[in-house]
Structure 1
């Protein structure tokens, strides 16, 4: 097996990425446990959050773009949310086939309940980590995301 040919920064970023993968998995499991009593998973909660954050009804493709997620996966989750009456679909005046996803009253209430569960738990998780450390981590994650998005754009077939 050959030795990796990485720079010091590349090696440090590799360790960061591996830690990020582990933290992501743990975060999803934590979220699943947190919202399970509400009939949600982390994925469903994330979609509800994207709908709320959008501020207006959007098609699935736009929600997927905002989340940096695969449209087909988001569609599957939105369909599940619709079956359980957390969301509904409305006609899109700008595109006949791309319906708009709309939060129902049940969906809004469930999302609000999830946030009420989340707030004290995230505050507890933040204990012992300074705001400055969190902001630095956020900047690094944002830089990495931006570089990955540019790299994805550059490698997509024309």
Structure 2
């Protein structure tokens, strides 16, 4: 009988974590399609939605900070911010810590838009079921966080 609380040796851990990667890709793509389907034709794109969610969660941020937080290029984030500003969902404000890198913050319209999207996602996620416990979710977050940290150096290349 396996002891599920004993740390795995590196090769066994790598094999098990490959199973996680095999699920994360399809999960991400299905979630993205679900978000796209829930967005109205005149609503924010998936990319703008990601920036809105980041600002909702963290408050005002610079474009480089958002790029690092999402592990995506600053240029992509800037395009999403430009789209969001054009739609009146976010705005650029002076950054007291750095004159050349403005802070981006939600407008009232952006706050309402992301609240609506998050509420819709919440309703969908209520259907997950599976008798999952808080401990299960905590463990999942710990594993995914460790995997993400292990890949931090990839962005430096």
Q: What TM-score comes out, normalization by structure 1 length?
A: 0.80
2:27 matched to 1:27?
A: no
The number of residue pairs the alignment matches comes to: 147
Query: Any gaps of 5 or more consecutive residues in structure 1?
Result: 1-5
1:35-57 superposed Cα distances (whole Å, 9 cap, x missing partner): 336602332222111111223x2
* 1:129 CA drift (Å): 4.1
Q: What TM-score comes out, normalization by structure 2 length?
A: 0.81
Contact 1:32 1:40 in 2 (8 A): no
RMSD of aligned Cα (Å): 2.2
1:15-34 superposed Cα distances (whole Å, 9 cap, x missing partner): 32122111111111112222
1:56-71 correspondence runs (5 A): 57-71=60-74
Contact 1:88 1:104 in 2 (8 A): yes
Distance of 1:20 and 1:112 partners within structure 2: 25
1:96 counterpart SS class:
coil
Distance of 2:16 and 2:119 partners within structure 1: 37
Tell me what 2:48 maps to: 44
Tell me what 2:95 maps to: 92
Tell me what 1:130 maps to: 132
Q: Which has the higher helix share?
A: 1
Of 126, 142, 145, 2:145 maps to 142
Tell me what 2:112 maps to: 109
1:102-124 superposed Cα distances (whole Å, 9 cap, x missing partner): 21111111112112212211111
1:36 counterpart SS class:
coil
C-alpha change, 1:29 and 1:129, in structure 2 (3 Å) is farther
* 1:144 CA drift (Å): 0.5
Distance of 2:121 and 2:42 partners within structure 1: 12
Of 10, 13, 18, 1:9 maps to 13
